[in-house]
Amino acid sequence: MNAPHELQFEHSLQRATVLGADMAYRDLGKADGPVVLFLHGNPTSSYIWRNIIPHVAPQARCIAPDLIGYGQSGKPDIDYRFADHVRYLDALLDTLGIRDCFIVAQDWGTALAFHHAARFPERMRGLAFMEFIRPFARWADFHQRDSAREAFRKFRTPGEGEAMIMEHNVFIERIVPAAIMRTLSDAEMNAYRAPFPTPASRKPIWRLPNELPIEGQPADVHALLTEAHAALAASTYPKLLFAGTPGALVSPEYAAQFAAGLQHCELVQLGAGAHYLQEDHADAIGQRLAHWLAQA
């Protein structure tokens, strides 16, 4: 039997027509409270926030979109490059009338958050983030595990990457479980599988590893995120960084160094965790977010 907060989350799905496509998003919580925008990464959806949002909802309006091509959003015939995600998210926020907000983000959601904050600093009330995307000067900087670096090199190899991700569904079936400390239930795994039933439907999953700015490529994404990180370093809005041990993109040591280089940034070390920290530490993240928002 589902808990009340699970039923509330399940029934919170809304839809909007954005740039001619259907975008799904969760909208729940305190309607007249501050807006908190939750941005997921690859290959997840708003579902990854299901056990975190209930901690925040009593004091805020929680908006959690499914990025275009993900979750229950549509899959228009586009390239699914980072710039495409920027366009669709911008249009969704305009459609919903979302301006001033807090952002909570992980993985590619952080790239979207950093880029948004760089362009609209006056709209930022605060930023909480984890396992974040940044320009990686070398492949050695990209991930904590050699095996993951090797997999992502293959994902970026023409022909091989498409076969692995689109034909054999490696990202869903192997990368996701390997980046979570606990074992997901069948129902949880099926929730992540459901949006991607066919090879063609997995194009968005394949594209984003190829968008990671590693050794300066792709040049346009590298430039955008270099600029966004410079703006982040100069920003003065409140920040909250969550880190796991050993982490995946972000080690606890790197998290401490990074947080120390930002203004008004608190660091929360969660303990054992890899990439999808929301699946291992939902209550800890949710409770800390609620406390942070109450103080902001």
Catalytic residue among 116, 275, 280, 281: 275
Helix (H) or strand (E) holding 269: strand 265-273
The residues pairing with 22 across neighbouring beta strands, listed in sequence order, are 17
Query: Would 251 be classed as within a structural domain?
Result: yes
Nearest to 144 by CA among 269, 240, 245: 245
Q: What are the residues whose beta carbons fall under 8 Å from the beta carbon of 97, sequence distance 6 or more?
A: none
Cα distance between residue 254 and residue 282, in whole Å: 22
**Burial (Cβ within 10 Å: 0-12, 13-18, ≥19) of residue 27:** middle
Cα distance between residue 30 and residue 36, in whole Å: 10
- Separation in Å, CA 51 to CA 12, 76, 266, 279, 280: 14, 29, 22, 8, 10
The residues pairing with 17 across neighbouring beta strands, listed in sequence order, are 22
Cα distance between residue 234 and residue 237, in whole Å: 10
Query: Would 201 be classed as within a structural domain?
Result: no
Contact 36, 75 (CB under 8 A): no
Q: pLDDT 10s per residue in the chain (296 long)?
A: 455 565 577 778 999 999 999 999 999 999 999 999 999 999 999 999 999 999 999 999 999 999 999 999 999 999 999 999 999 999 999 999 999 999 999 999 999 999 999 999 999 999 999 999 999 999 999 988 999 999 999 999 999 999 999 999 999 999 999 999 999 999 999 999 999 999 999 999 999 999 999 999 999 999 999 999 999 999 999 999 999 999 999 999 999 999 999 999 999 999 999 999 999 999 999 999 999 999 98
**Predicted local distance difference test score (pLDDT) of residue 230:** 98
* Total number of domains constituting the chain: 1
Query: Would 248 be classed as within a structural domain?
Result: yes
Query: Would 243 be classed as within a structural domain?
Result: yes
Give the structural domain span for 248: 4-143+214-294
Query: Would 148 be classed as within a structural domain?
Result: no
**Predicted local distance difference test score (pLDDT) of residue 19:** 98
Cα distance between residue 127 and residue 103, in whole Å: 5
131 a catalytic residue: yes
275 a catalytic residue: yes
**Predicted local distance difference test score (pLDDT) of residue 11:** 76
Catalytic residue among 66, 131, 279, 280: 131
Catalytic residue among 66, 107, 211, 279: 107
Report the CATH number at residue 255: 3.40.50.1820
**Predicted local distance difference test score (pLDDT) of residue 4:** 52
Query: Would 155 be classed as within a structural domain?
Result: no
- Separation in Å, CA 115 to CA 120, 205, 229, 266: 9, 20, 8, 21
Query: Would 265 be classed as within a structural domain?
Result: yes
**Predicted local distance difference test score (pLDDT) of residue 1:** 41
Query: Would 161 be classed as within a structural domain?
Result: no
